[in-house]
Amino acid sequence: MFLGQRKLTALRENSNMFRRRMIAMGVQTVGDWDSPIIPLMLYNPGKVPAFSRKLLARGVAVVVVGYPASALLLARTRFCISAAHKKEDLEEALKVIEEVAKEINVVYTPRSSASQRALEELGPAAKYLTEDRSGVPIYKPYAGSASYGQKSE
């Protein structure tokens, strides 16, 4: 594999692992899978400076977006993932993010109920669930299936 291919693969793996873990901790992310830019929705404009400052004080720098660059109640922070990030660094950042997210109340979906709800909604399709190294469920249906995206009876 060429260097460029290795870097693209590392970037995709880092980005998807980071997004999966953010979802598992109960924060709301938007954007596309495989994207190295991962927005975390804060919504309340008053939470933007608090979130940013608390993370920076703990060694995690983020890009924040608020009014007038976004709608008043669509404030967010953006995490920019790199192929050069080490898994250990991302894990440490995720621990800090989870602490701060709980402190300023931006954990909107409790982990256990979200995981349970996802399993209930999948029903028989849950057989396509696998887990990453941290135990976070990953849904990987067979893309060529005629029933892709539909519930089974």
Residues 28 and 75 in one domain: yes
pTM of the model: 0.70
Residues 126 and 71 in one domain: no
Identify the weakest region by mean pLDDT among 13-17, 31-35, 76-80, 127-131.
127-131
User: Residue 63 falls within a domain, yes or no?
Assistant: yes
So what's the pLDDT on residue 115?
A: 54
User: Residue 153 falls within a domain, yes or no?
Assistant: no
The full DSSP string for 19-58 is HHHHHHHT--B-S-TT-SEEEEEEESTTHHHHHHHHHHHT
Residues 105 and 115 in one domain: no
Residues 56 and 127 in one domain: no
Residues 95 and 120 in one domain: no
In the three-class reduction of DSSP (H, G, I as helix; E, B as strand; rest coil), residue 69 is classed as coil
Number of domains observed in the structure of the chain: 2
CATH of the domain at 15: 3.90.1150.10
So what's the pLDDT on residue 138?
A: 52
Q: How far apart are CA 91 and CA 113, in angstroms?
A: 23
One-letter amino acid for residue 92 of the chain: E
Residue 112 has which token pair?
């256990």
- Residue 43 backbone zone (phi > 0: left; psi -120 to 50: alpha; other: beta): left
Identify the weakest region by mean pLDDT among 38-52, 66-80, 100-114.
100-114
Instruction: Answer with the residue of higher pLDDT: 39 or 146.
Output: 39
User: Residue 22 falls within a domain, yes or no?
Assistant: yes
Per the structure, the complete domain to which residue 119 belongs is given by 110-148
Residues 114 and 79 in one domain: no
Q: Give Cα separations from 151 to 108, 115, 123, 126 (angstroms).
A: 26, 17, 7, 10
Residue 80 has which token pair?
């920019």
Helix axes 47-57 and 87-103, enclosed angle (nearest 10):
140
Residues 95 and 34 in one domain: yes
